[in-house]
Amino acid sequence: MSRDADDLAELKSRPEADEDLEDLALEEDYALNPDYVREVDDALDRGDAERLRELLNALRSEDIADLMGFLSADDREELLHHLDPEVLAEVLPELDTEIREDLVDLVEPAALARALGEMDSDDAADVVDDLEAGRRAQVLAAMPDIERAAIETALAYEEETAGRLMQREVVAAPQFWTVGQTIDHLRRESDELPELFFDVYVVDPSYHPVGACPVSHLLRSKRDIPLAQIMEPITDIPVDMDQEEVAYIFDKYNLISAPVVEPGGRLVGQITVDDIVGVIAEESEEDILALAGVSDAGRDAGVFGIVKSRLPWLLINTLTAAMAASVIRAFEGEIVKLAVLAVLMPIVASLGGNAGTQTLAVAVRALASRELSAVNAVRTVSREMTVGVLNGTALAAITGTILYFLFRDLRLSIAFGAALVINLFVASLAGALVPLALDRMGRDPAVSSSVFVTFVTDFTGFFAFLGLAALILL
């Protein structure tokens, strides 16, 4: 949102940005070129400040943030000292959180305070939030009162809410103004305005937003038209709304920006769609990782950080796997009599697990996009059960036939096929019901559901197959 500041910094810091280097820096898909990263690495190792400056000059601040992620912690610290203060102010908001946490501790409080002053209030709050208490107090003390107050207000809102996401900088105009009055006001107050804005919010005397005028409409309307005549309906965002819901609303109604209001209805800030792009990417990442039973330790995490992020789920899975396997213990006698049962039982469990995962992924996605709700929950679950039986029957017919030709034992084929149908039915039921139940309980349907579904399908797979085999075969 600070394209002006960008440009200014670019002009200052890139007096001789080398076009060849610019071409080399990024690959065709705008990812950083590995050769370029190696060149930076080499320049850092040699301590070649001049070459480093050349290399950095050819990068935008977002690319420098990206570059940081590919460097070792030591190189990153070294690189930090080569960044101009203006560039630093642009790079910090773009960094991965865990990298930023390390780096901000290395910047002088006064320099950091200056950099924070150049950021939008939402970005500055994010950076300050990463500081540990002692340094936070130091840095805030070094800031002008107004800027400090803005950051403290932002930090008072809970993480991942509209209050944190919004920028306090908005352009508002009273209902009775005309297009001409508004434009004159904007020209006069140019220095006080946000760098970039898309809507002028129309407010009533108690500062409640009642409409919005897109700037492109202001630009092309006649000067004497009142704002109230060209303004459009707005979708208010309550300041405590979860960011995932805000993203849903932006996506659904194709919003560019929306006013954020406090409980009384007063305008306190705005959220723009470019902030939402980051939220959507973040939330869907979280779903992918949660379904796989892993939290993201970050690309820069050390080995122990990663172990810590994965071991808890593996331990839970050990427990559920042991519980499912305990079913097999009850059938040890049958397995000793007919060892092929031990060969076939993992196939029944595995297919159930797969079918359950399929249903689960579809349900989690549908819940996230509000395509699955109380309206169609019953219909969806019963459709899934039918699909489970049909897929189970199809697989049972195919595998049962192959088994018959391998073992010439019709009863074995029947036990295997029937167990498949049962397990795929249960898999579909669990795959749909577990996320629905979690959602109803106000929990994230992506978290912990796959462990539970896999336990159910393993348990059912072993029990149905070995139990049927014991009944029919032995």
Residues 4-23 that bind a second copy (CB under 8 A): 4, 6-7, 10
Rounded CA-CA distance 192/215 in Å is: 17
Which of 24, 306, 397, 473 binds a second copy (CB under 8 A)? It is 306
- Binding to a second copy, residues 211-250 (CB under 8 A): 214-222, 232-233, 245, 248-250
- Note whether 311 binds a second copy by CB under 8 A: yes
Q: How far is the CB of 361 from a second copy (least distance, A)?
A: 3
Which of 103, 267, 361, 434 binds a second copy (CB under 8 A)? It is 361
Among the listed residues 28, 108, 14, 25, the one whose alpha carbon sits nearest the alpha carbon of residue 70? 25
Which of 142, 196, 225, 397 binds a second copy (CB under 8 A)? It is 196
Which of 175, 181, 358, 448 binds a second copy (CB under 8 A)? It is 358
- Note whether 355 binds a second copy by CB under 8 A: yes
CA distances from 358 to 204, 351, 361, 389, 429 (A): 51, 11, 5, 14, 12
- The Cβ of residue 49 has, within 10 Å, a number of other Cβ atoms equal to 12
- Binding to a second copy, residues 313-352 (CB under 8 A): 313-315, 317-318, 321-322, 324-326, 328-329, 332-333, 335-336, 339-340, 342-347, 349-351
- Binding to a second copy, residues 266-305 (CB under 8 A): 273-274, 276-278, 280-281, 284-285, 287-289, 291-294, 296, 299, 303-304
Q: Are 233 and 211 in contact (CB under 8 A)?
A: yes
Which of 158, 240, 251, 262 binds a second copy (CB under 8 A)? It is 251
Q: How far is the CB of 381 from a second copy (least distance, A)?
A: 13
342-357 core/surface letters (b: 16 or more CB in 10 A; e: else): eebbebbbebbbebbb
Q: How far is the CB of 331 from a second copy (least distance, A)?
A: 9
Q: Are 293 and 193 in contact (CB under 8 A)?
A: no
Q: Are 271 and 165 in contact (CB under 8 A)?
A: yes
Q: How far is the CB of 335 from a second copy (least distance, A)?
A: 5
Which of 12, 46, 229, 376 binds a second copy (CB under 8 A)? It is 376
Q: Are 423 and 392 in contact (CB under 8 A)?
A: yes
Q: What is the DSSP letter of 32?
A: B
For 172, counting Cβ atoms within 10 Å of its Cβ (0-12 exposed, 13-18 middle, 19+ buried), the class is middle
Among the listed residues 379, 457, 13, 170, the one whose alpha carbon sits nearest the alpha carbon of residue 5? 13
Which of 1, 9, 95, 131 binds a second copy (CB under 8 A)? It is 1
295: left (phi over 0), alpha (psi -120 to 50) or beta: beta
Q: How far is the CB of 196 from a second copy (least distance, A)?
A: 5
Q: How far is the CB of 61 from a second copy (least distance, A)?
A: 9
Per CB under 8 A, which region of 26-34, 128-136, 140-148, 262-270 contacts a second copy?
A: 26-34
For residues 152 and 369, which CB has a smaller minimum distance to a second copy in the complex? 369
Per CB under 8 A, which region of 31-39, 145-153, 157-165, 409-417 contacts a second copy?
A: 31-39
Binding residues for a second copy, how many (CB under 8 A)? 130
Q: Are 129 and 163 in contact (CB under 8 A)?
A: no
- Binding to a second copy, residues 422-461 (CB under 8 A): 454, 458
- What amino acid is encoded at 432 in this protein? A
- Note whether 100 binds a second copy by CB under 8 A: no
- Binding to a second copy, residues 127-186 (CB under 8 A): 183, 186
Rounded CA-CA distance 223/211 in Å is: 18
Rounded CA-CA distance 202/234 in Å is: 10
Q: How far is the CB of 364 from a second copy (least distance, A)?
A: 7
Q: How far is the CB of 435 from a second copy (least distance, A)?
A: 12
- Binding to a second copy, residues 32-71 (CB under 8 A): 32, 34, 37-38, 60, 62, 66, 69-70
For residues 149 and 298, which CB has a smaller minimum distance to a second copy in the complex? 298
Q: How far is the CB of 30 from a second copy (least distance, A)?
A: 5
For residues 146 and 374, which CB has a smaller minimum distance to a second copy in the complex? 374
Strand, helix or coil at 168?
A: coil
- Binding to a second copy, residues 388-407 (CB under 8 A): 390-391, 394-395, 398-399
Which of 138, 153, 181, 354 binds a second copy (CB under 8 A)? It is 354
The two beta strands, 199-203 and 172-174, are: parallel
Q: How far is the CB of 103 from a second copy (least distance, A)?
A: 17
For residues 109 and 211, which CB has a smaller minimum distance to a second copy in the complex? 211
DSSP for 344-402, written as a single string: HHHHHHHHHHHHHHHHHHHHHHHHHTT-SSTTTHHHHHHHHHHHHHHHHHHHHHHHHHH
Beta-carbon contacts of 175 under 8 Å, excluding residues fewer than 6 positions away, are 202, 203, 204, 210, 226, 227, 228
